[in-house]
Amino acid sequence: MVAYVAVHVNVKSPEKFAEYGQAAGPTVAAHGGAFTHRGLVHEILAGSAVYNRFAVIEFPDVETARNWYSSPEYQALIPLRDAAADVLFTLAEPPS
């Protein structure tokens, strides 16, 4: 069953974030994932959040999403990601 990684982002360094994005995108594709949504947060309708961007990545299943996140090639990018932005990653699948 399809799985989604929702990413909430607050960019700290636009230059580093652009570098991270260029490097991270190919790791997603190599693991069968695809970005389905990307955007800037326009407003918070309920609750509170510190994130100003979001993305949704679709994977064929939960296991594939986990394999991508834990892959050596993605793990190597985490120091760059953390220097570029504060992030929240969540993994979800549609209810059955």
CATH number at residue 68: 3.30.70.100
Q: Who's near 25: CB < 8 A, 6+ residues apart?
A: 35
Mean pLDDT in the chain? 96
Mean pLDDT along residues 32-54: 93
**What are the beta bridge partners of residue 10?**
86
* Residue 72 DSSP SS3: helix
Q: Who's near 61: CB < 8 A, 6+ residues apart?
A: 1, 2, 3, 93
pLDDT at 48 over 90: no
- pLDDT band, residue 59 (cuts 50/70/90): very high
Mean pLDDT along residues 31-36: 98
The domain in which residue 79 lies consists of 3-92
Q: What's the pLDDT score for residue 50?
A: 85
Q: What's the pLDDT score for residue 31?
A: 98
Q: What is the number of other CB atoms lying within 10 angstroms of the CB of residue 69?
A: 19
DSSP secondary structure code for residue 60 in this structure: S
Domain count, the chain: 1
pLDDT at 10 over 90: yes
* Residue 63 DSSP SS3: helix
